[in-house]
């Protein structure tokens, strides 16, 4: 499994989006965390595409999200396998300020290990600077979707093409 790319997958603004439908209505489910019920809206077609890539297996998916402490719940809500977390969760209620540096560290660790990287995140991928340069130099596929829309069909197409290219190299 070490020759396939690693996909760091965020939830909010990537899977969970207020306008997540792909030509049809989004699915809406709830998840409970920290004594609060949160609504998740997502495209069933997106989830089916992710499930297909994971089952092939064309990519190793790791949760890179503030929700990583709730992997069984994520798997239930999105009907996805229980992907491993990309990083250990800090104690207490995670915030984006705490998690964003962990996401970046996880992405850099993947490319520094020699693995190919797919990273989908609406707000943690650096736009510029030395960390972005390192990710770009490693050939990482970096997708920062519009948070209200989440991943779109063209994003999933780009991920599928990237994994197919990597599979043909193997």
- Give the side-chain half-sphere CA count within 13 A for 162: 21
Q: What is the CATH class of 6-169?
A: alpha beta
Whole-number pLDDT of residue 1: 43
Neighbours of 111 (CB within 10 A): 19
Asked if 138 and 111 touch (Cβ cutoff 8 Å), the reply is: yes
Domains in the chain: boundaries: 6-169
Give the distance, in angstroms, between the CA of residue 33 and the centroid of all CA atoms in the same chain: 19
Instruction: State the greatest distance between any 2 C-alpha atoms of the chain, in Å, as a whole number.
Output: 47
pTM of the model: 0.94
Asked if 38 and 32 touch (Cβ cutoff 8 Å), the reply is: yes
Q: 111 in helix, strand or coil?
A: helix
Phi and psi of 107, rounded to 5°?
-65, -45
| pLDDT values of the chain reduced to their tens digit, one per residue, 170 residues | 458 999 999 999 999 999 987 888 999 999 988 788 999 999 999 999 999 999 998 999 999 998 888 899 999 999 999 999 999 988 777 777 889 999 999 999 999 999 999 999 999 999 999 999 999 999 999 999 999 999 999 999 999 999 988 777 76
Q: How many residues does the chain have?
A: 170
């Amino acid at each position: 499994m070490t020759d396939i790319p690693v996909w760091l997958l965020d939830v909010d603004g990537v899977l969970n989006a207020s306008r997540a439908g792909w030509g049809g209505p989004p699915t809406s489910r709830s998840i409970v965390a920290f004594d609060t019920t949160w609504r998740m809206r997502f495209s069933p077609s997106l989830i089916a595409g992710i499930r297909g890539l994971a089952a092939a297996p064309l990519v190793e998916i790791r949760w890179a999200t503030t929700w990583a402490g709730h992997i069984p719940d994520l798997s239930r809500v999105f009907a996805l396998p229980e992907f491993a977390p990309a990083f250990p969760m800090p104690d207490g209620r995670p915030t984006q300020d705490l998690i964003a540096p962990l996401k970046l560290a996880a992405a850099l660790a993947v490319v520094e290990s020699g693995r190919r990287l797919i990273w989908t995140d609406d707000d943690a991928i650096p736009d510029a600077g030395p960390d972005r340069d390192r990710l770009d130099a490693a050939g990482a596929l970096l997708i920062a979707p519009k948070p209200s829309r989440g991943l779109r069909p063209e994003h999933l197409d780009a991920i599928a093409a990237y994994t197919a290219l990597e599979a043909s190299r193997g």
